[in-house]
A and B are shown apart, each in its own frame.
Chain A
Amino acid sequence: MTRHPTPPGRRNNEGATPSPQLPPAAIEAAAIEKDYGDAPALHPLTLRIEHGQTVALLGHNGSGKTTFIRMAAGLLDPTDGTVTIDGHAPSSIEARTLTSYLADTPVFYDDLSVWEHLEYVARMHGLSDWEQQAADLLDHLGLYARAEELPQRFSRGLRQKAAIAIAFIRPFELLLVDEPFVGLDAAGKEALLALFDQAAADGATVVVATHELSFVNRVQRIVALRDGHLIHDGPPANTDIDALVRTDAVG
């Protein structure tokens, strides 16, 4: 008897190689693995996420979600295997143009205000008319009144909102998000869900590592990891999300 129930829709495709005939996917991971010294974080994982998909990445603490997302964002180098973003290496200028990454821990310059962060990030991504966009985003997140303050001094929830604004101020075709609901109040969660919906409606690929059921319920695909292995990959229609999340919680 196994300790964990086998989740429905489990598909063991570890180590498989993607078909060479297919056009480049939004994210294509071919047998990627990662270890930190003696500790393996991700076992060979092959995964293809098509353009425009909205994907929830589930897994318990240490299951490899953050490692996968950071590798796709170009912040981690795979120990083995390759990952591409629309056919490009994650650290290439093409991939960085396409990808917006919202990390689990917000990071800011300690001497720049929220508004200044938005200005410089927008301009570094080639936007010239960014002011109205920034004002709308801050207003949507309930942060407009604090635009001139230093986000470094904000509470956890406000810092998260500032980080969300920075992730959405720039154009992107792939949104990589790691535990975005942590610290957000109900209004913040609603605002973020609306932003995800809008991004998906605009054709962006959205990959979110989260335990938040309100988001998991609206995705097109669920990918679950456990101890660095892929244990589930399928649409929510065929998935007992509760079971998966419960497993996730006790795992």
Chain B
Amino acid sequence: MVPVSDTAPAVAPPPATGLAALRDMRAARRHRRVQETEWFEALYRVYLAAIVIGGSVLFISGIFEDTVATTNDISHITEHGPNILGIIVAVAFFLGVRSGASGGPIAVEDAEVRHVLLAPLDIRSALRKPAIQRLRSAAFAGALAGAAAGQLAARRLPGSLGAWAFYGAIYGACVGMVWVGAALLVHGLRLPNTLVTLFASALVFWQAGVTVADTNAPGPFDAFGSMALWALHIEAIDLIAVVITTITALAGIFVVGSLSLEALARRSNLVAQLRFAVTLQDIRTVMLLRRQLSQEQMRATPWLTLKRRGSLPPVARRGVQSFLKFPARRYARMKLMVVLAALAQVAAYRGTTPAIVASGLCLFVFGLELVEPLSQEVDKPERTDSLPIDRGALMLRHLVVPAVMLIPFSVVAIVTALIFEHDGAAIATAAILAPFALATGMAGAVINAVKGAPDPLGDNAKSLFMPPEVAGMTTMTRAVLPIIVATLGSLPVIAVRESVESGNHPVGAAVRACVGVALLLFLVVGWVRQRDAIRLWWKNSVEESQQHKRKTSVST
């Protein structure tokens, strides 16, 4: 007798039966995960992250004296702060809407889609937990970022550090929940992509419009921004922001049963890879997978068609082809990163020194997008190695087109800076600083991409045998070094600020500081070109020294 299940007709189980099985399964898996967790390793990772991230913020903000805000500054912040901080919420709402329209924000395991969501269970009950987890993690991350920003604000503004951090955390949590809640709502209600994108864009423009136009007209997200400034001035009406956030989040959880199985299935596989990439601190892969998650694809037809027999060298031609196939949204994202970096540099120039870290991070992300042709080459080592060109020379050639692409983006940065600093010296200073800052962002990205390349000398394999402390630090260095390099290019703005405060001309300071940055760029270019040769030389030296030691010990 062949054991096919029940000959009786399939009937839906009572809701409680299936859900009890699901609960038991999740409990059993959680129990197993807890049992198998390497607590020491997990704590070690948290410890390293806390030292590197927290320490960096505190160290950098402690190097320079932050300028205490004047009464004028404070009244300016009280008046315009809610508008400006409201833009962040508007952008979070926009991103949430976009995420929901492209199948986000929840991602469950592939097996969960196949075995749970195709079972006759109430999908809302099955997905409620992942939805709440997503909301919780977004709120937590937002609260952390908000608290960090709050403590930085407390250095320049009146009010206790605790109050700034607390209200910053509430604001950040609201930002995170608005993002996830909006995404759940748009996805669950299956709202039309174009319509909701237009609506969210209109809200962003409205909020940005009231900020730039300097009017008394309210922006849609002012209450959120005002709440972040409660350390200065409490307005009870701002609690409406918390109410809106709560309603959005609850409504999002309510519609979770209507999420598309197609979107969940598509995302499940990518998210598993994404988590793995995050575990390895592989930022470039994380970006690559995020693009796939949002279904961002290269254009089938390029913006311009190159002649079949052009005069460009092949590597440069390949780079140009790549940029001609970038989708509009990637260019928009690159511009956004440059604008944010420019805004951060303006903030640093005006006294908020730690803003250079934000500038460095934005430029690093911008750089990762920019060095796409090189990254593609690195991802296909078998093709690279089959070419009759030295690997370093080939990688260098791949940097020519991205370097040329820095010019238009530098113009974007300069124009952004000029909106806030209008005088002639500022134009000259921005024109000097912008290309160097963007180039170091690119240099950081180049280091990230090249260090991710397979090592022909096999040292990656050796790292498997390193003690955990050394391996952990090596991994952290690999993840953090490119960001540090990207951030170094933003430091000249501090030199310019110091120079202006000492009564000197800013242009001279900018030129002097940029000489240092140029030297750094030269070193990075040299490293890319000679990396293999340097590593070979080092390996040979170590082997020779070991052989010498062995001979000496044998002879004695």
Which residues of A approach B to under 8 Å, CB–CB?
Answer: 37-38, 73-77, 91, 93-94, 96-99, 101, 103, 107-112, 116-117, 120-121, 123-127, 133, 136-137, 139-140, 166, 168-173, 194-195, 197-199, 202-203
Chain A residues within 8 Å of B18, by CB: 123-126
- Across the interface, do A124 and B2 meet the contact criterion of CB distance under 8 Å? no
The smallest C-beta distance from A121 to any residue of chain B, in angstroms, reads: 6
CA distance A204 to B106 in the complex (A): 35
- Across the interface, do B120 and A93 meet the contact criterion of CB distance under 8 Å? yes
Q: How large is the interface on B (under 10, 10 to 19, 20 to 34, 35 or more residues)?
A: 35 or more
Chain B residues within 8 Å of A166, by CB: 115
- Across the interface, do B25 and A126 meet the contact criterion of CB distance under 8 Å? no
Which residues of B approach A to under 8 Å, CB–CB?
Answer: 1-14, 17-18, 20-22, 24-25, 28-29, 32-33, 109-111, 113-116, 118-123, 260-262, 265, 295, 297, 300
Chain A residues within 8 Å of B114, by CB: 101, 103, 107
The smallest C-beta distance from B327 to any residue of chain A, in angstroms, reads: 12
- Across the interface, do A123 and B8 meet the contact criterion of CB distance under 8 Å? no
Give 27 A-B contacts (CB < 8 Å), ordered by A residue: A74-B261, A75-B261, A75-B262, A91-B261, A94-B120, A96-B120, A107-B114, A111-B33, A112-B29, A116-B28, A120-B22, A123-B21, A124-B25, A124-B116, A124-B121, A125-B13, A125-B119, A127-B5, A127-B6, A140-B2, A166-B115, A170-B10, A171-B5, A171-B6, A171-B8, A195-B2, A198-B2
- Across the interface, do A126 and B17 meet the contact criterion of CB distance under 8 Å? yes
Q: Do A123 and B17 contact each other (CB < 8 Å), given the known contacts A97-B12, A109-B111, A140-B2? A: yes
CA distance A109 to B115 in the complex (A): 9
Chain B residues within 8 Å of A98, by CB: 10
Beyond known contacts A93-B122, A124-B115, A126-B18: 11 more, CB 8 A cutoff: A75-B113, A76-B262, A99-B118, A107-B113, A116-B25, A120-B24, A125-B18, A127-B6, A139-B3, A171-B10, A194-B2
Give A197's nearest chain B residue, CB to CB: B2
Residue from A75, A97, A140, A173 in contact with B120 in the complex, judged by beta carbons closer than 8 Å: A97
Chain A residues within 8 Å of B29, by CB: 109, 111-112
Residue from B21, B118, B300 in contact with A38 in the complex, judged by beta carbons closer than 8 Å: B300
- Across the interface, do B4 and A199 meet the contact criterion of CB distance under 8 Å? yes
Chain A residues within 8 Å of B1, by CB: 136
Residue from A99, A126, A133 in contact with B3 in the complex, judged by beta carbons closer than 8 Å: A133
Give B109's nearest chain A residue, CB to CB: A109
- Across the interface, do B8 and A77 meet the contact criterion of CB distance under 8 Å? no
The smallest C-beta distance from B315 to any residue of chain A, in angstroms, reads: 29
Give B19's nearest chain A residue, CB to CB: A124
Chain A residues within 8 Å of B24, by CB: 120, 123
Chain A residues within 8 Å of B5, by CB: 127, 133, 168-172
CA distance A198 to B9 in the complex (A): 14
- Across the interface, do B21 and A94 meet the contact criterion of CB distance under 8 Å? no
- Across the interface, do B10 and A173 meet the contact criterion of CB distance under 8 Å? yes
Give B269's nearest chain A residue, CB to CB: A107
Chain A residues within 8 Å of B6, by CB: 127, 171
Chain B residues within 8 Å of A107, by CB: 110-111, 113-115
CA distance A136 to B3 in the complex (A): 6
Residue from B4, B111, B113, B123 in contact with A202 in the complex, judged by beta carbons closer than 8 Å: B4
- Across the interface, do B120 and A120 meet the contact criterion of CB distance under 8 Å? no
Residue from B9, B12, B265 in contact with A75 in the complex, judged by beta carbons closer than 8 Å: B265
Chain B residues within 8 Å of A171, by CB: 5-6, 8-11
The smallest C-beta distance from B355 to any residue of chain A, in angstroms, reads: 40
Give A96's nearest chain B residue, CB to CB: B120
Q: Do A198 and B4 contact each other (CB < 8 Å), given the known contacts A75-B113, A103-B114, A123-B18? A: yes
- Across the interface, do A137 and B3 meet the contact criterion of CB distance under 8 Å? yes
CA distance A97 to B8 in the complex (A): 13
CA distance A173 to B8 in the complex (A): 9
CA distance A121 to B121 in the complex (A): 11
Chain B residues within 8 Å of A169, by CB: 5
Chain A residues within 8 Å of B11, by CB: 97, 126, 171
The smallest C-beta distance from A115 to any residue of chain B, in angstroms, reads: 12
CA distance A103 to B11 in the complex (A): 22
The smallest C-beta distance from A33 to any residue of chain B, in angstroms, reads: 14
- Across the interface, do A74 and B7 meet the contact criterion of CB distance under 8 Å? no
- Across the interface, do A168 and B262 meet the contact criterion of CB distance under 8 Å? no
- Across the interface, do A173 and B115 meet the contact criterion of CB distance under 8 Å? no
CA distance A250 to B355 in the complex (A): 61
Give B114's nearest chain A residue, CB to CB: A107
CA distance A169 to B111 in the complex (A): 16
Give A191's nearest chain B residue, CB to CB: B2
The smallest C-beta distance from B364 to any residue of chain A, in angstroms, reads: 30
A37, A91, A126, A198: residue with the most chain B Cβ atoms closer than 10 Å: A126
Chain A residues within 8 Å of B297, by CB: 37
CA distance A226 to B18 in the complex (A): 40
CA distance A112 to B114 in the complex (A): 14
- Across the interface, do A121 and B262 meet the contact criterion of CB distance under 8 Å? no
CA distance A126 to B11 in the complex (A): 8
- List 6 tightest A-B contacts by C-beta distance, closest first: A126-B13, A123-B21, A136-B3, A198-B2, A97-B120, A171-B10
Q: Do A93 and B12 contact each other (CB < 8 Å), given the known contacts A77-B262, A109-B111? A: yes
